[in-house]
């Protein structure tokens, strides 16, 4: 297998966030001889009170200026595209709707699927570009015998972002580049210094870009009209009342709001959120573990689902670890993961991603599989 970075000069649109990773992606491709066009997507601009001095998200005016300065240093054109309407519809509104339904969304996956590798790809075609590139820590490789491309994890295990890219298709893999995925983070910063980029030591983004304060509950309060409901122990006891299911996720321990008149002898965790009854069920930590995880809307990067049960490793959250499992695909587009060892807190709405070695086989959306035992 070989990298898709070749010594030719097709045009590539680089999605530039104003961070070091996307900036070095542009530098590496320009160095390899690609005809680079930098594009910064104006996704969201918050109110002044939303921005704090220690904000580590993206999308600020300063980020756009950083991207422009990098393109100036590299001698490549830079454009800003306003995609606020699309971002609000496909990412922010989705985020709010999922929490309102008692689920736990992953907005970066929605952004990749609907904005970076859909909207931006169409804009790239208008610029006569053959490729779109980003600063994701992942790799695309091509089998020299078959010509087929695969999505692999980034070489830096601590920065690997292949989890949020499981929605890519075989067709898209022919037109995407992830040049930084072949390097460690420290090497990327050294490359930025080598290129004399002013942001070589710029801090990485950490917050959800449209929640710069990092408090998603405050964000939801401005956009939802929560309705109270009951806090219920798995044994049927009513432990109190909550202000809204939007503020709970499976596995949560803090901020449960249990009444002092209902003391319990063991730590409790959210084990189930029922949007119909608006009940939030609580139980001991051992109740969070399960071997079977049902997955909807499964996507397979190679284009087709595997035949029969296959051995994989899988992770059910971005910060989780790969765990051995058996994957079985179903004709309705869903799939079942049977883990060798029970996994903790599979939260509906999150992604379950399947791997075979370093290769991303695919992924889907975690769905609730077990009802509370009351």
**Please, which pLDDT band fits residue 210 given cuts at 50, 70 and 90?**
confident
Does residue 121 sit within a domain? yes
CA pair distance 50, 41, nearest whole angstrom: 20
Rounded to an integer, the average pLDDT of 112-122 is: 92
End-to-end CA distance of the chain: 53
pLDDT of residue 154: 98
Query: Residues 157, 32: one domain?
Result: yes
**Please, which pLDDT band fits residue 52 given cuts at 50, 70 and 90?**
very low
The percentage of the chain sitting over the pLDDT mark of 90, rounded to a whole number, equals: 77
Query: Residues 78, 111: one domain?
Result: yes
- pTM for the whole thing? 0.91
pLDDT of residue 370: 57
Rounded to an integer, the average pLDDT of 163-188 is: 97
The closest of 350, 353, 371 to 363, measured between CA atoms, is: 353
| Domain of residue 114, residue span | 2-194
Does residue 241 sit within a domain? yes
Does residue 216 sit within a domain? no
Residues 217-232: pLDDT tens digits?
889 989 998 889 999 9
Catalytic residue list = 111, 209
- CB 217, CB 100: distance < 8 Å: no
CA pair distance 110, 330, nearest whole angstrom: 23
pLDDT of residue 226: 85
- CB 118, CB 83: distance < 8 Å: no
pLDDT at 288 over 70: yes
Query: Residues 13, 153: one domain?
Result: yes
Of the residues 260, 283, 306, the one at which a domain ends:
283
Does residue 373 sit within a domain? no
Query: Residues 271, 308: one domain?
Result: no
Query: Residues 180, 263: one domain?
Result: no
Name the 3-class secondary structure at 363. strand
Rounded to an integer, the average pLDDT of 25-53 is: 81
Total domains in the chain come to 3
- CB 71, CB 96: distance < 8 Å: no
The closest of 78, 82, 106 to 18, measured between CA atoms, is: 78
The percentage of the chain sitting over the pLDDT mark of 70, rounded to a whole number, equals: 90
Higher pLDDT, 170 or 44: 170
Query: Residues 270, 295: one domain?
Result: no
pLDDT at 23 over 70: yes
Q: What is the mean pLDDT of the chain?
A: 90
Q: Please give the full DSSP string across 167-198, using - where no structure is assigned.
A: T--HHHHTTEE-GGGGS-HHHHHHHHHHTT-T
Burial (CB < 10 A; 0-12, 13-18, 19+), residue 60, is: middle
Q: How far are the Cα atoms of 120, 122, 209, 257, 356 from residue 111, in angstroms, in the given order? A: 11, 15, 11, 33, 25
- The residue length of the chain stands at 374
CA pair distance 190, 20, nearest whole angstrom: 10
CA pair distance 242, 123, nearest whole angstrom: 45
pLDDT of residue 53: 44
Query: Residues 272, 346: one domain?
Result: no
Does residue 205 sit within a domain? no
pLDDT of residue 122: 92
Write the CATH number for 328.
2.40.30.10
Higher pLDDT, 34 or 227: 34
pLDDT of residue 67: 97
Query: Residues 304, 272: one domain?
Result: no
Rounded to an integer, the average pLDDT of 114-128 is: 92
Does residue 348 sit within a domain? yes
**Please, which pLDDT band fits residue 255 given cuts at 50, 70 and 90?**
confident
Q: How far are the Cα atoms of 81, 88, 106, 246, 267 from residue 96, in angstroms, in the given order? A: 24, 10, 11, 9, 29
């Amino acid at each position: 297998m070989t990298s898709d970075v070749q010594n030719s000069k097709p045009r590539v649109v680089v999605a530039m966030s104003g961070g070091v990773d996307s900036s070095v992606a542009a530098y590496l491709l320009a160095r390899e001889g690609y005809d680079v066009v930098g594009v910064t997507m104006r996704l969201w601009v918050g109110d002044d009170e939303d921005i704090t001095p220690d904000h580590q998200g993206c999308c600020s005016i300063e980020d756009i200026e950083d991207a422009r300065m990098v393109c100036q240093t590299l001698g490549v054109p830079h454009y800003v595209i306003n995609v606020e309407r699309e971002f609000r519809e496909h990412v922010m509104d989705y985020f709010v709707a999922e929490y309102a339904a008692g689920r736990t969304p992953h907005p970066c996956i929605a952004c990749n699927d609907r904005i970076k590798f859909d909207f931006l790809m169409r804009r790239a075609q208008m610029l006569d570009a053959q490729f779109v590139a980003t600063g994701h820590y992942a790799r695309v490789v091509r089998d020299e015998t078959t010509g087929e491309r695969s999505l692999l994890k980034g070489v830096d295990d601590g920065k690997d972002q292949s989890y949020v890219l499981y929605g890519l298709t075989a067709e898209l893999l022919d037109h995407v580049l992830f040049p930084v995925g072949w390097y460690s983070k420290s090497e990327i910063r050294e490359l930025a210094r080598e290129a004399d980029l002013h942001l070589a030591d710029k801090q990485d983004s950490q917050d959800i870009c449209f929640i710069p304060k990092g408090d998603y509950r405050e964000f939801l309060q401005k956009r939802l009209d929560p309705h109270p409901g009951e806090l219920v122990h798995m044994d049927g006891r009513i432990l109190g009342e909550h202000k809204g299911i939007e503020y709970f996720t499976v596995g949560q321990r803090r901020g449960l709001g249990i009444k002092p008149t209902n003391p319990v002898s063991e730590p409790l965790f959210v084990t189930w959120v029922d949007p119909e009854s608006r009940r939030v069920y609580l139980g001991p930590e051992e109740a969070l573990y399960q071997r079977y995880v049902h997955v909807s809307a499964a996507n397979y990067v190679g284009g087709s689902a595997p035949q029969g049960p296959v051995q994989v490793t899988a992770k059910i959250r971005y910060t989780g670890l790969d765990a051995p499992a058996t994957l079985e695909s179903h004709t309705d587009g869903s799939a079942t993961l049977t883990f060798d060892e029970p996994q903790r807190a599979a939260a509906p709405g999150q992604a379950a991603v399947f791997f075979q070695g370093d290769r991303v086989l695919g992924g889907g959306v975690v769905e609730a599989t077990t009802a509370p035992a009351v």
